[in-house]
Structure 1
Amino acid sequence: MSEIAIHREHALGLARAREIAWQWAEDAEEKFGMECTVEEGEDGDVVHFTRAGVNGTLTVAPDHFDLQARLGFLLGAFAKTIEAEIQKNLDTLLALEARKATPARKAKTAAPAKKAAARKK
């Protein structure tokens, strides 16, 4: 049996981390036919996921995610590929969240153009 362990630090806090974890669980259900259940706690949650040949947990904390998965014999041969796909999915969700949290900067080209026009008068 193959094991997958993934750890990701974040600065989202528990509420936003929960939303990311639930999105990850929905994606896993849709894309991979996983059955996911969420066990909510005061300090964090645990998302349990399973399907034929795979079972595991995604621990959700205010400052990190920990994913542990066990692959059965047949899927064990694809452990590296499966691990890479899980990492990509989780990293994509974290990157999208980071972009939401960073406000877009306004372009500063208008002000210098106005100053240049004023100097010509």
Structure 2
Amino acid sequence: MPKIDIRQPHHLSLAQARAEVEQVAARMHEKFGIEGQWQGETFSFSRSGVSGTIAVESDAVQVKAELGMMLAPLKGMLEQEIQRKLDEHFA
């Protein structure tokens, strides 16, 4: 399975970074039906074809995802979109 692993540095407080991830998670749910839950400072998400985590650290956010076979051909596009959203929320 193809994997995505992107680390985005930030200068936010842990609480602010977590709030940004909450906004992103709400949008992912609204737009793609992705469900998720927090386990400590890590948001785990999944839906058919993709699963992963968004880990909030004091100085960075780490996005990891595994793509199913149907989304594998879209890996490059998905990485670009994730990076764009991370830049938008954390740069």
TM-score of the aligned structures, taking structure 2 as reference length:
0.93
Cα contact 2:36–2:44 (8 A) shared by 1: yes
| Rounded Cα–Cα distance in structure 1 between residues aligned with 2:61 and 2:77 | 20
1:71 equivalent in structure 2: 67
Equivalent residue, structure 2, for 1:81:
77
Which secondary structure state, in structure 2, belongs to the residue aligned with residue 73 of structure 1?
coil
State the number of aligned residues. Answer: 91
Quick one: distance in 2 between partners of 1:53 and 1:18? 25
Report the counterpart of residue 29 of structure 2 in structure 1: 29
Which of the residues 43, 50, 54 maps onto 1:54? Answer: 50
CA contact (8 A) 2:45 2:52 kept: yes
Cα pair 2:50 2:67 within 8 Å, conserved: yes
Compute the displacement of 1:94 (Å).
2.1
Aligned match of 1:11: 11
Which structure is higher in helix share?
Answer: 1
Structure 2: unaligned runs, 5 residues or longer: none
1: distance between equivalents of 2:42 and 2:86?
A: 15
Partner SS state of residue 51, structure 2: strand
Report the secondary structure of 1:78's partner residue.
helix
Higher relative contact order (CA 8 A, sep 6+): 2
Runs of 4 or more, structure 1, over 6 Å off, are: none
Identity %: 38
Structure 1 distance, partners of 2:32, 2:88, is 17
What does the per-residue CA deviation read over 1:76-111, in whole Å, with 9 as the maximum and x for residues that have no partner? 01100111111112211225xxxxxxxxxxxxxxxx
- Structure 1 length-normalised TM: 0.71
* C-alpha contact (below 8 Å) 2:4/2:64 kept by paired residues: yes
Say whether the 8 Å CA contact 1:5–1:67 is kept in structure 2: yes
